Structure formats: C-alpha cells, structure tokens
Structure 1
Amino acid sequence: MQLGGAIDLPAALTEADLAARAAVTQTVSFSSGSGPQTHIYTGTSLWSLLSDAGIQVDGTRKNDALSRYLLATGADGYKVVFALGELNPDFGNKQGAIAYAETTAGVSAPLGATDGPFRVTAPGDVKGGRYVSNLTRLDVVAAPATAAGIGGGVSTSFAISGKVATPMSFDLNALKSLTPTSDLTIGGNTYTGIPLWTLLNKAGLPATPKNVTLGMYAVATGSDGYRATLSLGEVDPNFGAKGALVAYRMNGTDLTTAGFARLVVPGEVKQSRSVSNLIAIEVFVAGTP
C-alpha cells in the first residue's frame, strides 16, 4: 500500500509495517447488498498513520488541515474520500482504521483475497460503501478551492458551485423558502436551517456510476476566507449520516453577526468545521480541479 500526497514521509507499506504499529480492534456493523454484516477487524489507526507521516499544511491559513482530505483507492480503482477533519480526534473523531486481519469464530487471520490484504474501515456508517477493500493507496490532498474571502464581515449570500448540475445562489429569503427545515442542537444552542445534503441534491449531484458521491467532497468558505471540508460520504444519510446544516436561525432568532447563514456540523469534539458568514460551497470530485 502506497502512502503519499501532501505528507512529509511517503512510504510503501507492507502488512509487517502496519502490524508493527499499535493495533486497534473494532467490531463494526453495516448494511450491504447481501444483507447486514458484522466484522471484528484488527488494524492500525488511520489518523495515527497519517499524523506520524507528517501532514503538510499552509501555515498562513487558520486550521488549514480542516480544508484537506484523504483519498483511499482500491485495486479496482474504487475511490472514497474522508475529510481530514472527519478523522481528526480533535474534530470529527471518526475511528477509521486500516484493517489487515479479521477475527472469525474466535480466530484472527489475515484478510482474504476478497477484501485484503488491507481494508479501510468506517465505523458508524449505515452502509459499507466507504469500507475500501483491496486498498492500494492513501493520499492526503489539498482541496483546490478557489472561493476567496471578501475581507470578513457579515455575509448576505452564498453560492453552490463546482460538480453540480445547476450552480445556485442563496440569500436569506431564498434559503428560508426551502423545505423541509431541520433543527440541530449543539451545546445550549438550537439551529434551524436546511440540511447540507438537501442543498447539494437541490443543486444536482451525479447519480452514476454507483457510489460516485463517496469520491466527492464539499469545501465551505466564510467571508474571511476560512475553509472547512466535508466528504459527501459523511453527510449522506446512507453512509456517515452526519446531519450538517446550513443554518439561518439560532434559538428562534435570525443569525446576524455570524452572517445570515452558518454551516453547522454536529457530533464534533471542537466546532472548527462550522463556518460562519458562509459565502461559498464548492463541490469537487477527488483528484480533479
């Protein structure tokens, strides 16, 4: 398995290399085309591997790692995106691993030819589409977002662009006209708005080939140029089901100083992937401009 991209220590890793690292064991369950599955995997922490390889960032941008993503590629070319913020224990804390062994009937053995020798895990996902079998590459990538900040200040509109059928723009009235709305409580605050997944589908996400959106991601930009990336797989209700919301109201009152719209990401240790004064959401297919 090749480990590369925007890291300090690219490497070609063998099963022995991964087995020499601290081992993690996970019991994971998900649905598949053949029915419900439960597996007991042993492997190494995905985040720990990336962190030890030295993730490269732009030191001039606040929390730049949160705008980057990991691309996992299988031997058949199947590609899945994980946002680095999704995996980072300080933020999304997704406990992904690179599995190299499975326990069946109490006996642990190397993964067989169907899934191995390495398989990425996505604990908590509803379906198993982000479990990349026959893993051959992991690449850390800086998102090619082009939306620039406008010097800060209160935002009054945001645009959805990139790999969508119909680029769209929303101001407060346009956002309020959409249905259904959702509420999301984080800490002591309750936000009201439109699910990010709903907005992206309104703009038109591709439907083919199968699971195409699992190789895609969205970059949210605030008026000050701050960026955060979410993989489409993590917000898709069929996979990560993280109910990210583009909020326009908090505790029953329209947002003001945080701009008319704020991307709010639930279930995070720290809220640094929530983007205030939202001005842009750019949608990308991994590995392309």
Structure 2
Amino acid sequence: MSDSLAHARTAAVATAEVVLDGDVARPSRLTVADLRSRPQRSAAVAFECATSGVRHHRFTGPLLHDVLTAAEPAFDPARRKDRLRFLIAVSGADGHRTLLSWAEIDPDFGRAPVLLAVAMDDSPLDSAGPQLVLPQDRCGARYVSGITAIRVNGGYSAWT
C-alpha cells in the first residue's frame, strides 16, 4: 500500500462521523469530539456476548436522548404523545444494526440511560467511532460499535 493511501485511510478512520438524520429539524454529522463536548455520563456494565461470555466495561458518553432531542425530532404537538410512535435506527461500520423505540429512552416512559459512548475503559473511541451502550440489556447484541448512522423515524403514522 502506498504511503498516501495509508494516510488517507488513517485520516478517514481518525475522523469517523455519525450521520444523524430522519424526521429531525436539525440533521447533522457528529464526531466523537462533538459528542465529547456534551454533558457526559458513565456506566459500568456487564453483558453477555455469545462468542466471549460475560464482558465487563466502563463506558462514558452523552445520553442518546439528549443528542436526539438537540436534533429536534419532528413530534407533532397537536397529537397527544406523538413521540411514542418514533423509532431510532442505529447502524455500525461493520453492518451491525439495531432498533430502539423513542419510549425506551424518553424520561417520561422507559428512562433507559442509553449512551453514545466516546470512551470505553478510559480509552477514547475517536478512531473507532462512538458505541451504542444499553446498560439495561443483559445481552450485548444491541451494543453497536463504530456507529456510522442514527436515523429517527416517525414510523407509525400509518396507524392513525
């Protein structure tokens, strides 16, 4: 591999971005540094991994709810509890995807302290990209590393 190609790949990894879009007024591209500038929470977690057993880690990052609220989801104020029909799709660089409901992370309902981790075990995730952390999950299947996209979708509008 040429030096310029290696440098280009290193630069691309070092500036990993998360595309935040969907039914939001303020879509954005976020880096780990952007996420680190927000109020941080820490969580010591233990979760089961199908391939390596129980894993123990400490993650730090902003709450997913806070990051998404700042993007101004397109909740309809004329519809009572409209936010409950919204879904959150999270995609990782390795193709891993998961789905959450707004109700899971909303303080008025599930209050799950879901993080967009910027550090794991005190090691920054700048080059790898942020990781979705669900401290309440027993299984690690919804922990998405190297997040590349978060899409907010008011998907249940067809029900009304």
Place the TM-score, normalised by the shorter chain, in its bin: 0.7 to 0.9
Structure 1: how far apart are the matches of 2:53 and 2:126?
20
Tell me which residue corresponds to 1:59.
Answer: 77
Tell me which residue corresponds to 1:122.
Answer: 134
Given that residues 21 and 44 in structure 1 are in contact (C-alpha distance below 8 angstroms), is that contact kept between their aligned partners in structure 2?
yes
TM-score (norm. length: structure 2) = 0.83
In the TM superposition, residue 70 of structure 1 has moved relative to its aligned partner by 0.6
Tell me which residue corresponds to 1:94.
Answer: 112
Structure 2: how far apart are the matches of 1:79 and 1:146?
24
Given that residues 110 and 117 in structure 1 are in contact (C-alpha distance below 8 angstroms), is that contact kept between their aligned partners in structure 2?
no
TM-score (norm. length: structure 1) = 0.47
SS in structure 1 of the partner of residue 67 of structure 2: helix
Larger relative strand fraction: 1
Given that residues 2 and 11 in structure 1 are in contact (C-alpha distance below 8 angstroms), is that contact kept between their aligned partners in structure 2?
yes
1:21 aligned partner, one-letter code: R
Residues 7 and 32 of structure 1, relative CA distance in 2, 3 Å threshold? same
Q: What is the Cα-based RMSD across aligned positions, in Å?
A: 1.5
Given that residues 73 and 137 in structure 1 are in contact (C-alpha distance below 8 angstroms), is that contact kept between their aligned partners in structure 2?
yes
Q: Which runs of 5+ in 1 are unaligned?
A: 149-289
1:29 pairs with 2:29: no
Q: Which runs of 5+ in 2 are unaligned?
A: 1-17
Identical positions, percent: 32
RCO comparison, higher one (Cα < 8 Å, 6+)? 2
Structure 2: how far apart are the matches of 1:40 and 1:6?
32
Structure possessing the higher radius of gyration over alpha carbons: 1
1:60 aligned partner, one-letter code: A
> Which of 57, 60, 66 lines up with 1:42 in the alignment?
60
Larger relative helix fraction: 2
Aligned ranges 1:226-237 → 2 under 5 Å:
none
Structure 2: how far apart are the matches of 1:98 and 1:131?
10
> Which of 152, 157, 160 lines up with 1:140 in the alignment?
152
